[in-house]
Amino acid sequence: MLELRGIRKSYPTPQGPLPVLRGVDLCLAAGESLALMGESGSGKSTLLHLAAGLDTPDSGEVRLDDRLLSALDEPARAECRRRRLGLVFQQFHLVPSLDVLDNLRLQARLAGREETAWTRELLRRLGLADMAGRYPEQLSGGQQQRLAIGRALAARPALLLADEPTGNLDERSADRVLALLLELVRDSGCALLMVTHSPRVAAPLDRCLRLSRGRIAEAAL
């Protein structure tokens, strides 16, 4: 459902263009889960942004379902994101002026697909049912992280893109949040592309790839 072919991406720097991705190929089937590892600065977030259509490659193709995402303009890419994707970033990007419940249903509402029963189930399974009326600043880091995951899943995306979704939690909270994420992903049947530094986090996923020197290799844990 997601296919990257021959992706190249450089960033301009004062010293000239910095090549980050030098011909990346990646394929993800519906319902499949894939961990993306690699050193800091290897281009994992860059790749995720391209897959989400938040940025465009210098060359190569990004295909989401049968649409050539990399050839669409920004409004059309945004429409694809709303219809098909859930995004979880390291920074939670919660809306400070909305309470827990409204943050949770934001994406689903934008996508025109709010399901009250699923929203309520998410709140409960994320352990946020008693906090529906709180604002993000009144939540702990782990609670904010769970809310960000719930928001991404509330619209029932076909593909969840997650960039170190437990990166700034302590190990125990990270494990709990991750187990919950994987359980919700499995139940909803969506595909998962998750960036992580941790082999432990990558282990339960179907496949693991490593990004190194701008290219992708199948990785053993």
Ligand X SMILES: Nc1ncnc2c1ncn2[C@@H]1O[C@H](COP(=O)(O)OP(=O)(O)OP(=O)(O)O)[C@@H](O)[C@H]1O
| Residues that bind Mg ion in the complex, under the rule CB under 5 A | 45
Q: Does 165 bind ligand X (CB under 6 A)?
A: no
In this structure, the dihedral spanned by the alpha carbons of residues 58, 62, 66 and 71, taken in order and rounded to 10 degrees, is: -20
Element (H, E) at 138: none
Residue 135's nearest CA partner among 124, 127, 143 is 143
* Residue number with CB closer to ligand X (46 or 119): 46
Q: How many alpha carbons fall within 13 Å on the CB side of residue 111?
A: 23
Residue 41 interacts with ligand X (CB under 6 A)? yes
Query: Minimum CB separation from Mg ion for residue 208, in Å?
Result: 17
Q: If binding is defined by CB under 6 A, does position 15 make contact with ligand X?
A: no
Minimum distance from residue 16 beta carbon to ligand X (Å): 12
Interaction pattern, residues 103-142, with ligand X; x per rule: CB under 6 A? ----------------------------------------
DSSP H helices, the chain, are 44-51, 74-84, 100-110, 116-125, 141-154, 171-188, 199-202
Select from 104, 80, 106 the least CA-distant residue to 158.
Answer: 80
Q: Which of 2, 24, 45, 142 binds ligand X (CB under 6 A)?
A: 45
Alpha carbons 46 and 64: distance in angstroms, whole number = 17
CB of 9 vs Mg ion, minimal distance in Å: 14
Q: Tell me: does residue 38 bind ligand X (CB under 6 A).
A: yes
Choosing among ligand X, Mg ion, none, which partner's interface includes residue 221 (Cβ < 5 to 8 Å by kind)? none
Q: Is 50 left (phi over 0), alpha (psi -120 to 50) or beta?
A: alpha
- Decide which of Mg ion, ligand X, none touches 41; Cβ closer than 5 to 8 Å per partner kind: ligand X
Does the footprint of ligand X cover residue 196 (CB under 6 A)? no
- Residue 44 within binding range of ligand X, rule CB under 6 A: yes
Partner touching 46 among Mg ion, ligand X, none, CB below 5 to 8 Å by kind: ligand X
DSSP helix/strand/coil, 85: strand
Q: Measured from the CB of residue 209, what is the shortest distance to ligand X in angstroms?
A: 13
Q: Residue type at 10?
A: S
Name the site residues for ligand X (rule: CB under 6 A).
11, 13, 18, 20, 38, 40-46
